[in-house]
Structure 1
Amino acid sequence: MQHKTYIPPLNFSPVVSTDVSLYRSGYPMPLNYSFIKDRLNLKTIIYVGDKEDLTDEYSEFLKAEGIEFYHVFMDSCRDKNINSQINTVLEIILDIDNYPILIHSNKGKHRVGIIVGIIRKVLQGWSTAGIYQEYSIFSGGLKGDADLEFITMFETHMSVRKDKIPKYVTDSLNI
Protein backbone atom coordinates (compact mmCIF):
# COMPACT_ATOMS: atom_id res chain seq x y z
CA MET A 1 0.00 0.00 0.00
CA GLN A 2 1.44 3.33 -1.05
CA HIS A 3 0.95 6.39 1.16
CA LYS A 4 0.04 9.73 -0.35
CA THR A 5 2.65 12.43 0.19
CA TYR A 6 1.46 15.80 1.45
CA ILE A 7 3.60 18.88 1.09
CA PRO A 8 2.44 22.06 2.83
CA PRO A 9 3.12 25.47 1.26
CA LEU A 10 6.25 27.42 2.16
CA ASN A 11 6.12 28.86 5.72
CA PHE A 12 2.87 27.01 6.47
CA SER A 13 1.65 27.08 10.06
CA PRO A 14 -1.60 27.12 12.00
CA VAL A 15 -2.43 30.54 13.45
CA VAL A 16 -5.53 29.32 15.29
CA SER A 17 -6.69 25.73 15.64
CA THR A 18 -9.29 25.79 18.37
CA ASP A 19 -12.96 26.13 17.44
CA VAL A 20 -11.95 27.14 13.92
CA SER A 21 -8.87 26.78 11.76
CA LEU A 22 -6.85 29.73 10.51
CA TYR A 23 -3.58 29.11 8.70
CA ARG A 24 -0.72 31.13 7.20
CA SER A 25 1.67 30.34 4.36
CA GLY A 26 3.50 31.42 1.27
CA TYR A 27 1.94 31.20 -2.19
CA PRO A 28 0.63 27.65 -2.76
CA MET A 29 2.16 25.73 -5.63
CA PRO A 30 0.63 22.73 -7.45
CA LEU A 31 2.63 20.30 -5.28
CA ASN A 32 0.77 21.78 -2.25
CA TYR A 33 -2.75 21.36 -3.64
CA SER A 34 -3.34 17.81 -2.34
CA PHE A 35 -2.27 18.95 1.14
CA ILE A 36 -4.67 21.91 0.99
CA LYS A 37 -7.50 19.79 -0.40
CA ASP A 38 -7.15 16.69 1.79
CA ARG A 39 -5.80 18.16 5.04
CA LEU A 40 -7.21 21.68 5.39
CA ASN A 41 -10.69 21.54 3.81
CA LEU A 42 -10.55 25.30 3.27
CA LYS A 43 -13.56 27.44 2.69
CA THR A 44 -11.62 30.69 2.15
CA ILE A 45 -8.19 31.83 0.98
CA ILE A 46 -6.99 35.40 1.44
CA TYR A 47 -3.99 36.44 -0.63
CA VAL A 48 -2.22 39.56 0.62
CA GLY A 49 0.23 40.42 -2.09
CA ASP A 50 1.28 42.37 -5.09
CA LYS A 51 0.86 39.79 -7.87
CA GLU A 52 -2.01 40.87 -10.09
CA ASP A 53 -2.85 37.57 -11.76
CA LEU A 54 -3.22 34.08 -10.42
CA THR A 55 -1.75 31.21 -12.36
CA ASP A 56 -4.28 29.26 -14.40
CA GLU A 57 -3.53 26.14 -12.34
CA TYR A 58 -4.22 27.99 -9.07
CA SER A 59 -7.45 29.51 -10.41
CA GLU A 60 -8.63 26.09 -11.59
CA PHE A 61 -7.74 24.51 -8.24
CA LEU A 62 -9.71 27.16 -6.31
CA LYS A 63 -12.72 26.74 -8.58
CA ALA A 64 -12.62 22.93 -8.47
CA GLU A 65 -12.46 22.95 -4.67
CA GLY A 66 -15.11 25.65 -4.26
CA ILE A 67 -12.73 27.83 -2.24
CA GLU A 68 -13.70 31.49 -1.91
CA PHE A 69 -10.71 33.61 -2.89
CA TYR A 70 -9.95 37.18 -1.84
CA HIS A 71 -7.04 39.18 -3.16
CA VAL A 72 -6.23 42.09 -0.89
CA PHE A 73 -3.56 44.06 -2.72
CA MET A 74 -0.68 44.80 -0.37
CA ASP A 75 2.83 45.80 -1.28
CA SER A 76 4.16 46.76 2.16
CA CYS A 77 3.23 48.41 5.43
CA ARG A 78 4.01 51.70 3.71
CA ASP A 79 1.05 51.43 1.30
CA LYS A 80 -1.13 54.52 1.53
CA ASN A 81 -4.27 52.36 1.95
CA ILE A 82 -2.73 49.87 4.36
CA ASN A 83 -5.26 50.42 7.18
CA SER A 84 -8.15 49.83 4.80
CA GLN A 85 -6.44 46.71 3.43
CA ILE A 86 -5.87 45.33 6.94
CA ASN A 87 -9.47 46.06 7.90
CA THR A 88 -10.67 44.16 4.81
CA VAL A 89 -8.70 41.11 5.95
CA LEU A 90 -9.98 41.48 9.53
CA GLU A 91 -13.59 41.68 8.33
CA ILE A 92 -13.17 38.39 6.47
CA ILE A 93 -11.56 36.58 9.41
CA LEU A 94 -14.06 38.00 11.88
CA ASP A 95 -16.88 36.14 10.11
CA ILE A 96 -17.18 32.56 11.33
CA ASP A 97 -18.88 31.61 8.05
CA ASN A 98 -15.55 31.98 6.20
CA TYR A 99 -13.66 29.28 8.15
CA PRO A 100 -11.39 27.35 7.67
CA ILE A 101 -9.17 30.11 6.23
CA LEU A 102 -5.67 30.26 4.75
CA ILE A 103 -3.96 33.65 4.55
CA HIS A 104 -0.98 33.70 2.25
CA SER A 105 1.45 36.09 0.64
CA ASN A 106 4.20 35.35 -1.85
CA LYS A 107 6.74 33.88 0.61
CA GLY A 108 4.67 33.84 3.83
CA LYS A 109 7.06 36.19 5.60
CA HIS A 110 6.48 39.93 5.81
CA ARG A 111 2.96 40.64 4.54
CA VAL A 112 1.46 37.63 6.25
CA GLY A 113 3.65 38.47 9.24
CA ILE A 114 1.96 41.86 9.48
CA ILE A 115 -1.51 40.30 9.25
CA VAL A 116 -0.75 37.60 11.82
CA GLY A 117 0.92 40.15 14.11
CA ILE A 118 -2.21 42.28 14.02
CA ILE A 119 -4.41 39.22 14.66
CA ARG A 120 -2.20 38.38 17.64
CA LYS A 121 -2.34 41.96 18.95
CA VAL A 122 -5.91 43.03 18.24
CA LEU A 123 -7.83 39.75 18.39
CA GLN A 124 -5.80 37.62 20.77
CA GLY A 125 -4.14 40.11 23.11
CA TRP A 126 -0.58 38.85 22.64
CA SER A 127 2.35 40.76 24.06
CA THR A 128 4.53 42.80 21.74
CA ALA A 129 7.51 40.56 22.58
CA GLY A 130 5.60 37.43 21.52
CA ILE A 131 4.47 39.07 18.27
CA TYR A 132 8.03 40.18 17.47
CA GLN A 133 9.41 36.72 18.20
CA GLU A 134 6.88 34.99 15.94
CA TYR A 135 7.50 37.55 13.17
CA SER A 136 11.24 36.90 13.42
CA ILE A 137 10.81 33.14 13.17
CA PHE A 138 8.80 33.34 9.95
CA SER A 139 10.85 36.12 8.37
CA GLY A 140 14.01 34.08 8.84
CA GLY A 141 15.47 36.61 11.27
CA LEU A 142 15.21 39.42 8.76
CA LYS A 143 14.40 42.47 10.82
CA GLY A 144 11.38 44.12 9.20
CA ASP A 145 11.58 47.06 11.61
CA ALA A 146 8.97 49.04 9.67
CA ASP A 147 6.58 46.06 9.80
CA LEU A 148 7.05 45.61 13.54
CA GLU A 149 6.56 49.32 14.18
CA PHE A 150 3.41 49.23 12.05
CA ILE A 151 2.00 46.28 14.04
CA THR A 152 2.82 48.03 17.32
CA MET A 153 1.12 51.27 16.26
CA PHE A 154 -1.87 49.70 14.45
CA GLU A 155 -5.33 50.55 15.75
CA THR A 156 -8.70 49.87 14.22
CA HIS A 157 -12.26 50.94 14.86
CA MET A 158 -14.42 48.57 12.88
CA SER A 159 -17.94 47.32 13.33
CA VAL A 160 -18.60 43.62 12.96
CA ARG A 161 -21.55 41.36 13.71
CA LYS A 162 -21.06 40.00 17.18
CA ASP A 163 -22.91 36.77 16.34
CA LYS A 164 -20.39 36.02 13.55
CA ILE A 165 -17.19 36.49 15.59
CA PRO A 166 -15.20 33.24 16.08
CA LYS A 167 -15.01 31.88 19.62
CA TYR A 168 -11.20 32.24 19.82
CA VAL A 169 -11.70 36.01 19.51
CA THR A 170 -14.55 36.29 21.99
CA ASP A 171 -12.65 34.13 24.48
CA SER A 172 -9.40 36.11 24.08
CA LEU A 173 -11.11 39.49 24.44
CA ASN A 174 -13.76 38.39 26.95
CA ILE A 175 -16.58 39.56 24.68
Structure 2
Amino acid sequence: MVYIPPLNFAPVVSTEVSLYRSGYPMPLNYPFIADQLQLKTVIYVGDKEISEDYREFLASQSIVYEYVHVESCRDANIKEHMDQVLRKVLDKHNYPILIHSNKGKHRVGVVVGIIRKVLQGWSTTGVYQEYDIFSGGLKGGVDLEFVTMFETDLKVRRLTIPDFVKLQDEGVTKTGS
Protein backbone atom coordinates (compact mmCIF):
# COMPACT_ATOMS: atom_id res chain seq x y z
CA MET A 1 0.00 0.00 0.00
CA VAL A 2 1.18 3.51 -0.80
CA TYR A 3 0.72 5.98 2.05
CA ILE A 4 0.27 9.66 1.32
CA PRO A 5 0.70 12.09 4.22
CA PRO A 6 -1.30 15.33 4.37
CA LEU A 7 0.05 18.56 2.89
CA ASN A 8 2.94 20.02 4.93
CA PHE A 9 3.04 16.97 7.21
CA ALA A 10 5.98 16.76 9.62
CA PRO A 11 6.73 15.44 13.09
CA VAL A 12 7.03 18.15 15.73
CA VAL A 13 8.08 15.78 18.51
CA SER A 14 9.01 12.10 18.36
CA THR A 15 10.00 11.03 21.85
CA GLU A 16 7.88 8.94 24.21
CA VAL A 17 4.98 10.80 22.60
CA SER A 18 4.36 11.78 18.99
CA LEU A 19 3.16 15.21 17.95
CA TYR A 20 2.62 16.00 14.28
CA ARG A 21 1.64 19.03 12.18
CA SER A 22 -0.01 19.22 8.76
CA GLY A 23 -2.53 20.78 6.46
CA TYR A 24 -6.13 19.59 6.30
CA PRO A 25 -6.21 15.82 5.67
CA MET A 26 -7.98 14.64 2.53
CA PRO A 27 -9.49 11.16 1.97
CA LEU A 28 -6.31 9.97 0.20
CA ASN A 29 -4.44 10.72 3.48
CA TYR A 30 -6.75 8.65 5.70
CA PRO A 31 -4.87 5.32 5.29
CA PHE A 32 -1.62 7.07 6.26
CA ILE A 33 -3.26 8.58 9.35
CA ALA A 34 -4.96 5.34 10.35
CA ASP A 35 -2.09 2.92 9.71
CA GLN A 36 1.03 5.01 10.29
CA LEU A 37 0.12 7.56 12.97
CA GLN A 38 -2.46 5.73 15.12
CA LEU A 39 -3.64 9.05 16.51
CA LYS A 40 -5.53 9.55 19.71
CA THR A 41 -6.26 13.27 19.17
CA VAL A 42 -6.65 15.68 16.26
CA ILE A 43 -6.68 19.42 16.88
CA TYR A 44 -7.92 21.51 13.98
CA VAL A 45 -6.87 25.16 14.23
CA GLY A 46 -8.97 26.77 11.54
CA ASP A 47 -11.91 28.82 10.41
CA LYS A 48 -14.28 26.26 8.86
CA GLU A 49 -16.22 23.22 9.98
CA ILE A 50 -14.68 19.92 8.90
CA SER A 51 -16.24 17.81 6.15
CA GLU A 52 -18.67 15.04 6.98
CA ASP A 53 -16.38 12.36 5.51
CA TYR A 54 -13.49 13.59 7.68
CA ARG A 55 -15.74 13.61 10.76
CA GLU A 56 -16.82 10.03 9.95
CA PHE A 57 -13.20 8.94 9.43
CA LEU A 58 -12.14 10.36 12.82
CA ALA A 59 -15.10 8.67 14.53
CA SER A 60 -14.32 5.34 12.82
CA GLN A 61 -10.77 5.52 14.19
CA SER A 62 -11.92 6.61 17.69
CA ILE A 63 -9.84 9.77 17.34
CA VAL A 64 -10.80 12.60 19.67
CA TYR A 65 -11.42 15.72 17.58
CA GLU A 66 -11.00 19.25 18.91
CA TYR A 67 -11.88 22.32 16.86
CA VAL A 68 -10.14 25.54 17.86
CA HIS A 69 -11.69 28.36 15.83
CA VAL A 70 -8.96 30.75 14.72
CA GLU A 71 -9.30 33.24 11.87
CA SER A 72 -5.83 34.71 12.45
CA CYS A 73 -3.49 35.67 15.27
CA ARG A 74 -5.31 39.02 15.36
CA ASP A 75 -8.47 37.37 16.78
CA ALA A 76 -9.71 38.87 20.03
CA ASN A 77 -9.60 35.47 21.80
CA ILE A 78 -6.37 34.18 20.28
CA LYS A 79 -4.53 33.81 23.61
CA GLU A 80 -7.35 31.70 25.04
CA HIS A 81 -7.36 29.58 21.88
CA MET A 82 -3.60 28.99 22.10
CA ASP A 83 -3.92 28.09 25.79
CA GLN A 84 -6.66 25.61 24.80
CA VAL A 85 -4.24 23.92 22.37
CA LEU A 86 -1.42 23.98 24.94
CA ARG A 87 -3.64 22.26 27.54
CA LYS A 88 -4.12 19.34 25.12
CA VAL A 89 -0.43 19.23 24.19
CA LEU A 90 0.58 19.30 27.87
CA ASP A 91 -1.40 16.15 28.68
CA LYS A 92 0.44 13.01 27.58
CA HIS A 93 -2.85 11.07 27.70
CA ASN A 94 -3.86 12.83 24.45
CA TYR A 95 -0.94 11.44 22.40
CA PRO A 96 -0.29 10.77 19.56
CA ILE A 97 -1.62 14.17 18.40
CA LEU A 98 -1.98 15.75 14.97
CA ILE A 99 -2.43 19.53 14.91
CA HIS A 100 -3.54 20.84 11.54
CA SER A 101 -4.88 23.92 9.83
CA ASN A 102 -6.14 24.32 6.28
CA LYS A 103 -2.76 24.41 4.50
CA GLY A 104 -0.42 23.58 7.40
CA LYS A 105 1.37 26.91 7.12
CA HIS A 106 0.35 29.93 9.16
CA ARG A 107 -2.08 28.88 11.93
CA VAL A 108 -0.23 25.66 12.61
CA GLY A 109 3.03 27.60 12.26
CA VAL A 110 1.91 29.87 15.09
CA VAL A 111 0.91 26.89 17.27
CA VAL A 112 4.18 25.05 16.62
CA GLY A 113 6.15 28.27 17.16
CA ILE A 114 4.50 28.67 20.57
CA ILE A 115 5.23 25.03 21.43
CA ARG A 116 8.85 25.48 20.38
CA LYS A 117 9.26 28.73 22.32
CA VAL A 118 7.24 28.10 25.49
CA LEU A 119 7.53 24.33 25.95
CA GLN A 120 10.89 23.54 24.37
CA GLY A 121 12.86 26.73 24.95
CA TRP A 122 13.77 27.30 21.30
CA SER A 123 15.38 30.57 20.29
CA THR A 124 13.40 33.12 18.32
CA THR A 125 15.71 32.52 15.36
CA GLY A 126 14.95 28.80 15.34
CA VAL A 127 11.21 29.42 15.58
CA TYR A 128 11.36 31.92 12.68
CA GLN A 129 13.40 29.56 10.51
CA GLU A 130 10.98 26.67 10.99
CA TYR A 131 7.99 28.95 10.34
CA ASP A 132 9.59 30.15 7.09
CA ILE A 133 10.23 26.58 5.90
CA PHE A 134 6.54 25.71 6.06
CA SER A 135 5.10 29.08 5.02
CA GLY A 136 7.51 29.68 2.18
CA GLY A 137 8.46 32.96 3.84
CA LEU A 138 5.04 34.44 3.15
CA LYS A 139 2.83 36.49 5.49
CA GLY A 140 4.84 35.80 8.60
CA GLY A 141 5.30 39.23 10.17
CA VAL A 142 2.18 39.42 12.33
CA ASP A 143 2.25 35.69 13.12
CA LEU A 144 5.88 35.76 14.21
CA GLU A 145 5.37 38.89 16.26
CA PHE A 146 2.50 37.12 18.05
CA VAL A 147 4.68 34.07 18.78
CA THR A 148 7.50 36.31 20.02
CA MET A 149 5.20 38.20 22.38
CA PHE A 150 3.11 35.19 23.49
CA GLU A 151 3.09 34.44 27.21
CA THR A 152 0.96 32.09 29.23
CA ASP A 153 0.35 31.34 32.88
CA LEU A 154 -1.16 27.87 32.49
CA LYS A 155 -1.14 25.55 35.46
CA VAL A 156 -0.88 21.85 34.62
CA ARG A 157 -0.56 18.61 36.54
CA ARG A 158 3.04 17.41 36.84
CA LEU A 159 2.18 13.77 36.09
CA THR A 160 0.54 14.57 32.75
CA ILE A 161 3.35 16.60 31.18
CA PRO A 162 5.21 14.85 28.34
CA ASP A 163 8.97 14.44 28.72
CA PHE A 164 9.82 16.73 25.79
CA VAL A 165 8.52 19.78 27.71
CA LYS A 166 11.27 21.91 29.22
CA LEU A 167 9.46 24.28 31.53
CA GLN A 168 10.94 27.65 32.37
CA ASP A 169 10.60 29.66 35.57
CA GLU A 170 7.81 31.63 33.93
CA GLY A 171 4.89 30.56 31.77
CA VAL A 172 3.57 27.03 32.21
CA THR A 173 4.06 25.77 35.73
CA LYS A 174 3.66 22.33 37.25
CA THR A 175 1.24 21.81 40.08
CA GLY A 176 0.85 18.80 42.38
CA SER A 177 0.58 15.24 41.10
Percent sequence identity is 66
Q: TM-score, normalised by structure 1?
A: 0.94
Give the whole-Å Cα distance in 2 for the aligned partners of 1:166 and 1:115.
17
1:64 to partner: Cα distance: 0.4
Aligned residue number for residue 43 of structure 1: 40
Residue of structure 2 equivalent to 1:173: 167
Please give the per-residue CA displacement for 1:86-114, whole angstroms capped at 9, x wherever unaligned: 00000011001000000000000000000
| Contact 1:136 1:143 (8 Å CA) reproduced | no
Cα offset, 1:41, TM superposition: 0.3
Q: Distance in 1 between matches of 2:24 and 2:47?
A: 12
| Match in the other structure for 1:136 | 132
Alignment correspondent of 1:18:
15
Q: Which residue of 2 aligns with 1:86?
A: 82
Which of 60, 72, 96 aligns to 2:56? It is 60
1:67 Cα shift? 0.1
Residue 60 of structure 1 aligns to which amino acid in structure 2? E
After superposition, residues 157-172 of structure 1 pair within 5 angstroms as 157-169=153-165, 172=166
- Corresponding residue SS for 1:121: helix
Aligned position for 2:123: 127
Q: Is the counterpart of residue 5 in structure 1 residue 2 in structure 2?
A: yes
Map of 1:77 onto structure 2: 73
Deviation of 1:72 after TM superposition, in Å, equals 0.4
**SS in structure 1 of the partner of residue 86 of structure 2:** helix
Listed as ranges, the gaps of 5+ residues in structure 1 are none
2:25 and 2:4 map into 1 onto residues whose CA distance is: 10
* Conservation of the 8 A alpha-carbon contact between 1:8 and 1:32: yes
Partner Cα separation in structure 1 for residue 146 and residue 50 of structure 2: 28
The equivalent position to 2:95 in structure 1, one of 94, 99, 115, is: 99
Question: What SS does the corresponding residue of 1:62 show, helix, strand or coil?
Answer: helix
> What is the CA-CA distance between 1:149 and the residue it aligns to?
0.3
Query: 1:143 offset after TM fit, Å?
Result: 3.8
Aligned mates of 1:78, 1:37 — CA distance in 2:
34
Aligned residues: 169
> 74-83 or 140-149, which moves further after superposition?
140-149
SS at match of 2:103: coil
Structure number with higher helix proportion: 1
